[in-house]
Amino acid sequence: MNTLRGTGIAMITPFKGDKSIDFEALTALTNHLIEGGVDYLVVMGTTAESPTLNKIEKIKVLDHVIQINDGRLPIVYGMGGNSTQALIEEFKQVDLVGVSAILSASPYYNKPSQRGIIEHYTKIADTASKPIILYNVPGRTSSNMEAPTTIELANHENIIAVKEASGSLEQVMHIINEKPEEFLVISGEDILTYPMLALGGEGVISVVGNAFPKMLSEMVNSALKGDYPNARKNHYNLLKVTECLFQDGNPAGVKACLKMMGICEEKLRLPLVPVNKATRRALEFQMEELS
């Protein structure tokens, strides 16, 4: 799946003042990302506040992005859960025409063993109509998908990549060193994207890129071409704003930036809330520095 090599964006879901979905802002965001040079769009990741959207809303967002995208970029759709059978049933119910792959987080809360994780992903990959991207994010799931687990799953014909957000470059190195050649290792943490690319990673699914698609895409493309001095320059240009974006949680920070850019309102659904005043001032300063 070379079409998923490079810069993917974990899209936010814009909301209006009444917390309903702002489809006009979603149109603006989609075009902003495409014009910013990203390689693919990720709909209904955690950054989309997916736990607060119902099934009908999720499909409406997906359909809208597919319509506005109009075939310009591949689209990845987030579908996960901590019940394997329920997730398999959901796969049967959702129309995935226009979707290139499914991003699926390792089961959360019930903390399966490594064998349980392998059996979960094997079952869903066996039944899914689209290729699966594994998503390892221990900070949210409370269990780490270890390197041997990822490598075993990488040999499944319908599992094409892993979004790695363990924070462990050692783990990333073991996966890259032992994976099948065509299997993609994708950064799931903006701040570690540059070092992961230098180690042999294939790209990023980014939060920061919602606001800074051009700079992020340039960094990723430069690294993939072996131009590490230019990639490193963009990495450090984005470093401080990246740190600020996550100070009060995701996607509060990036929504504050998008509000400053006139793309959407700074509205979140509870239990998430907007950034505090100090973080907003820091973001305003960083936006000025990058302008």
Give the number of residues written for the chain: 291
Q: Please give the backbone phi and psi of residue 10, each rounded to the nearest 5 degrees, phi first.
A: -80, 95
Residue type at 280 in one-letter notation = R
CB 8 within 8 A of CB 203: yes
Could you give the C-alpha distances from 283 to 122, 193, 208, 262, 280, in angstroms and in order?
A: 42, 21, 12, 15, 5
Give catalytic status of residue 135 as yes or no. Answer: yes
Alpha helices, H only, the chain: 23-35, 55-69, 84-93, 114-127, 138-141, 147-153, 169-178, 193-199, 213-224, 228-245, 252-260, 277-290
Per-residue burial over 216-241, b = 16 or more CB atoms within 10 Å of its CB, e = otherwise: bbbbbbbbbeeeeeebbebbebbeeb
Q: Based on the residue annotation, tell me whether 163 is a catalytic residue of this protein.
A: yes
CB 125 within 8 A of CB 159: yes
First to last CA, the chain: 34
Q: Which residues contact 286 (CB under 8 A, 6 or more apart)?
A: 240, 241, 244
In one-letter notation, the amino acid at residue 162 is V
SS3 177: helix
Amino acid letter for position 93: Q
| Active-site hit among 130, 163, 179, 259 | 163
In angstroms, rounded to a whole number, what is the distance separating the alpha carbons of residues 135 and 262? 31
Tokens of 202: 């294939």
Catalytic residue (one of 40, 77, 121, 135):
135
Please identify every residue annotated as catalytic.
135, 163
